[in-house]
Amino acid sequence: MRIALLSPLPPEQTGIADYAEHFRSSLSALGVDVLTPLRGVSGADRLTQLSRFDWSQVQLVHAELGGGRLGEFEALDWLRRHHPQLPLTATVHDPERLVWRRARLPWPLSWLERLPRPMPQICALLADPLTLYEERRLARHLRRAVTLTDTGARCLSTRMGLLPGQAVSIRHGNLTLAPGELPALDPLRLLYFGFIYRGKGIEDLLAALAQVFQRQPSLRGHLRLTLAGGTAPEMAFGPAGNYLDELRALAQQLQLPDCLDWQLDLPAEAIASTIQAHHAMVLPYRESKKLGLLGAMRGTSGALSWANACGRGVITSNARAFAEEVSNGNGTTFEQGDIAALADAIEVLALHPQRAVEWAERAAVIGLARRWPTTAARFLELFQSVCRENQ
């Protein structure tokens, strides 16, 4: 089988690019010829490449949609118009929408969005009916829309008006890793892992840890937190200032430096060992209030996949579809933005560290079931089914 993959790919530093590379290599191991016609192509060159590429040489096109990117959506829509018989599928990483916004607003909104805030946000809201119409049009043309959770599939189907069976869930694949024993339970080591930028709730995590020490002073010295992950300049050093410096200043203000470790720009080969050197992961994500005006984001997280692969439980907010991801005895959730609730969850785990052992055992079972070879086999089965329907 030969397919075309439309997606960000490394060296781009995004979770979807990492996912797509594992997806590509795992399918290739099953004998699928995966072409990447838009790799390294951007802007106006994308349309030229779409026109030049021989689409008759592939049986199916699959795209990775999400992460605020619009190029893959526009490429799929071009294929819908110019090659309507070519089967199109996509993994939708941010349901209940496909892309949430248009690349270009219609006039006069395109002129008004240049004005100071909040005019750009108002323009996006005014253009949303058109955006939603275009998303639904493409979604209904897809032979299958894949989400990473059942929650995401239900929400996507409802919002996009899909037919029964058109949206399916295939869990986030993870690497096959050797089991790593939990370190000694004293001190208890918690880990935030992921790209470090605003909107991830990291400030909430620091504030919650400070609350734990205020309520349980005896835990100081027996509880540590590591902040680990990527710090892509365009995300960590934005117009609002240096976010890393802000986090360090907040940690100092909350008197946390003695129990806080930093592992920034973690190399890929060190991810697994870093996660397995800890007892549990903490993901304090918050829903975007801006996106909340347009719908409910019900995606998941690559960090959760890493936790399962490494056999580690998770304390996570109830943002996105995270509650579903830790509903199998591999962690617990708290109300997003509720710092006291997060502090409670950390305190309970610190006082009852055996829970980390139980979470780890369950996470390891889940990780084994979601290995990339198994996940790729599910995608291959789906692609073969779509191609049979197209005959």
Mean pLDDT, range 343-364, rounded to an integer: 98
Per-residue model confidence (pLDDT) at position 241? 65
Residue 78 lies in a domain: yes
Q: How far apart are CA 165 and CA 153, in angstroms?
A: 10
Per-residue model confidence (pLDDT) at position 333? 98
pLDDT at 69 over 80: yes
Percent of the chain having pLDDT more than 70? 97
Q: Are residues 167 and 196 in the same domain?
A: no
pLDDT in tens, 302-315: 999 999 999 999 99
Residue 131 lies in a domain: yes
Q: Are residues 244 and 270 in the same domain?
A: yes
- Which amino acid appears at position 360 of this protein? A
pLDDT in tens, 240-275: 568 899 999 999 999 999 999 999 989 989 999 999
Q: Are residues 376 and 288 in the same domain?
A: no
Confidence bin at 14 (pLDDT 50/70/90)? confident
Residue 160 lies in a domain: yes
Q: Are residues 141 and 92 in the same domain?
A: yes
Residue 98 lies in a domain: yes
- Which amino acid appears at position 236 of this protein? A
Percent of the chain having pLDDT more than 90? 85
Per-residue model confidence (pLDDT) at position 149? 97
Beta strands in 12-143 (DSSP E): 33-35, 60-65, 88-92
Q: Are residues 132 and 57 in the same domain?
A: yes
Higher pLDDT, 235 or 318: 318
Q: Are residues 350 and 248 in the same domain?
A: yes
Q: Are residues 212 and 250 in the same domain?
A: yes
**Which residue range forms the structural domain that includes residue 256?**
188-369
Round the average pLDDT of the chain to a whole number and report it.
94
Residue 236 lies in a domain: yes
CATH number at residue 205: 3.40.50.2000
Q: Are residues 23 and 53 in the same domain?
A: yes
pLDDT at 327 over 80: yes
Residue 183 lies in a domain: no
Note the residue count of the chain: 391
Q: How far apart are CA 203 and CA 319, in angstroms?
A: 16
Per-residue model confidence (pLDDT) at position 236? 43
Confidence bin at 198 (pLDDT 50/70/90)? confident
3-state secondary structure of 134: helix
Per-residue model confidence (pLDDT) at position 232? 60
Residue 180 lies in a domain: no
Higher pLDDT, 175 or 199: 175
Residue 217 lies in a domain: yes
Q: Are residues 163 and 56 in the same domain?
A: yes
Q: How far apart are CA 60 and CA 54, in angstroms?
A: 12
Lowest-pLDDT range of 33-37, 58-62, 101-105, 154-158: 101-105
Task: Count structural domains, the chain.
Answer: 2
Q: Are residues 82 and 192 in the same domain?
A: no
pLDDT in tens, 199-249: 899 999 999 999 999 999 999 999 999 999 887 644 444 455 688 999 999
Per-residue model confidence (pLDDT) at position 142? 98
Mean pLDDT, range 178-194, rounded to an integer: 95
Per-residue model confidence (pLDDT) at position 84? 97
3-state secondary structure of 46: helix
Nearest by Cα to 32 from 2, 64, 62, 70: 2
Per-residue model confidence (pLDDT) at position 10? 93
Residues 338 and 170 sit within 8 Å (Cβ to Cβ): no
Q: Are residues 322 and 228 in the same domain?
A: yes
Lowest-pLDDT range of 149-153, 228-232, 320-324: 228-232
Higher pLDDT, 291 or 131: 131
Q: Are residues 160 and 214 in the same domain?
A: no
